[in-house]
Amino acid sequence: MIEYLLQQMKDYKSGKRANSRAKRMKRNLSDVNENEMTAIAEWLSTLK
């Protein structure tokens, strides 16, 4: 789960995951570095 979430965020940021909605996520992630994305993914994984 952590790995999946981190990969999606990386792919939005790099433009690899691109569709009409992904533009929003690309903007959201433009100022977030990889350490921060890892922390976000770890936190998201704790939610049920």
- Output the smallest distance, CB 11 to ligand HEM, in A: 9
- Output the smallest distance, CB 33 to ligand HEM, in A: 13
Footprint (CB under 6 A) of ligand HEM, residues 4-43? 5, 8-9, 17, 19, 21-22, 24-25, 28, 40
Dist. CA 9–CA 41, nearest whole Å: 9
Alpha helices (runs of H) in the chain, residue ranges in sequence order: 2-14, 22-29, 34-46
Burial of 48 (0-12, 13-18, 19+ CB in 10 A): exposed
What is the contact surface with ligand HEM in residues (CB under 6 A)? 5, 8-9, 17, 19, 21-22, 24-25, 28, 40
